[in-house]
Homo-oligomer: A and B are copies of this chain.
Amino acid sequence: MAGNTFGTIYRLTSFGESHGPAMGGIIDGMPAGIGINLDEVQRMVDRRRPGLTRGSSTRQEKDRVEVLSGIFEGKTLGTPIGFVVRNEDCRSEDYDHLRDVYRPSHADYTWQMKYGIRDHRGGGRASARETLSRVVAGAFAMQALRLLGINIIATARQADDELEHAREQGDTLGGAISCTITGVPAGLGEPVFGKLSSALAAAMMSIPAAKSFDMGAGRALTTMRGSESLDTMRMVDGKVHFDHNYSGGVQGGISNGNDIYFEVGFKPIATLMRDIPAMDSQGRAVTIHPRGRHDVSAVPRAVPVVQAMAAHVILDHYLLNKTTHL
């Protein structure tokens, strides 16, 4: 209930502060008997590592995923998969000057108001470093989904030269990520509150810095007429064919067998590499100048996170849908 578990049947519970000993999590509900390639899990984690994408922080973490349970002789046991990733390159002293400061558009103030205590180092639990655990759970999910013929592709909408330009100015950028899921059978999604579109929205809007979600044609549909936005269907060669896919593969909250697609919008990262007007815990105005390592945009490294969360949602709903019939 405290918000660190995601999913109904396929569930990730995660832990970890950015500058604490480790990040990690427990995946519960992974079906039994599935062959797992742990190198592939590591490769997906590597894709969100700092320093590997343009516009990302230069923090050097090995981010080695250590799996502690749930796999036996290369296969899933059906038992929980515990994993940890050590936090190795923590320059916690970079954050000493932030101990009593609330940075604007950060979680410092809200966290303090909620808990009355916080780990100020590197954002603590509010750091996007927590997405590491999501990627691990998503990487496992993707291996299960592949056996079902389901694949997930995510692409960033952001130009490399924009990133460089903003970096030179000590500024940051927003951006968006599109995601397409192919091979999903018709029938996934639970009405009324468990719609697939609702679950995807919840998953994506839980990613740090996510501020908008469009299902299918999304916002474009708000200014369209019904007559120009119907996903008409017909049989072609004995298979159901949709002439359009404005709805993004989900109708009435349930997948229709067409490609599922959506877009997630991200705000610019709030940590600028220039003077920032802030407030301290006594209400005094202070100016901070970040010394840590920070990304110019959340988007490049968020791509595997979006993919991971999408995989999580689809596997979860695939399993849930098995209970629809006796």
Contacts and interface: CB of A to CB of B under 8 A. Distances in A.
A320 to B, nearest CB: 6
Contacts of A34: 326
B29 A1 contact: yes
Assembly of this chain: how many copies? 4
Interface size class of A (residues with CB under 8 A): 35 or more
Contacts of A197: 205-206, 210-211
A187 B110 contact: yes
A279 B235 contact: yes
A12 B198 CA distance: 16
Contact of A3 (B130, B192, B235, B318): B192
A128 to B, nearest CB: 10
B3 A191 contact: yes
A9 interface: yes
A81 to B, nearest CB: 7
Contacts of A222: 174-176, 211-212, 265-267
A186 interface: yes
A268 to B, nearest CB: 4
Interface string A283-300: 111000000000000000
Given A15-B82, A68-B21, A218-B211, A5 B5 contact: yes
Given A15-B70, A84-B82, A213-B213, A324 B254 contact: no
A24 to B, nearest CB: 5
A145 to B, nearest CB: 9
B267 A246 contact: yes
B233 A279 contact: yes
6 contacts: A15-B80, A17-B69, A72-B124, A79-B125, A219-B265, A226-B271
